[in-house]
Structure 1
């Protein structure tokens, strides 16, 4: 596989790739450069982190959380030209 964009669903996935200092609350929905990781070649161009779908289900305001998730995924769709 040679993905153009990797979408991380949740902080655990994002921190596994970006490091433990990564914060979903600050960086979600933003296309970032994919980090250099040993053994990952060719490197995808971008990475986007968003909330995990289970967080949407648990959120006090599910509609707002769902809108945020969709908004983040729309960033990916736009970047891919969809």
Structure 2
């Protein structure tokens, strides 16, 4: 099994898909390596591509606000993306790009050993929970697979576009925390 540092080196030198040619830098997951909660989004955005840190732009600001409102902080969670490089123009990552990064996500999950995975948005939920997952109907619902709770909430960028989703997302995060009994 690889260490976090080794996995980070693999991600930063990756050329498994064409996104490696258009990125400024790859974006490895960050956070508490002993977290009970793993949050997975779809792909880095423009600010993340510049900083190499997940959720550092406007989506990151609203994400931090929602975490705080739910009684959580980045210090207690681990946050990553399915795809480690920014798709051009912030388009949705293609299936082959997601597939190229899945070994990294699987290793991150093995390293963290979470009790719960929270998918941030439709793309992550459809990749992690099931392909036909509908975020508008199923956000905040729970499924247990291999002793790990799975759930999904709205992506922070969706909350930025539609602030009425803020309270629902905070409620979903609180429910997830409660599900773990903490």
The two structures have a TM-score, normalised by structure 2, of 0.37
Residues in 1 aligned to 2:118 and 2:147: alpha-carbon distance in whole angstroms: 11
Larger RCO, structure (CA 8 Å, separation 6 or more) = 1
- Asked if 2 retains the 8 angstrom alpha-carbon contact of 1:11 and 1:24, the reply is yes
Which ranges of structure 1 fall in alignment gaps of 5 or more residues? 35-42
Q: Which structure has the larger Rg?
A: 2
Paired position in structure 2 for 1:27? 138
Residue 10 of structure 1 corresponds to: 121
Q: Name the residue aligned to 2:175.
A: 75
Question: CA contact under 8 A between 1:2 and 1:44: conserved in structure 2?
Answer: no
Please state how far the C-alpha of 1:79 moved relative to its aligned partner.
Answer: 1.1
Partner of 1:52: 155
Q: Which runs of 5+ in 2 are unaligned?
A: 1-111
Normalising by structure 1, what TM-score? Answer: 0.78
SS of residue in 2 equivalent to 1:21: coil
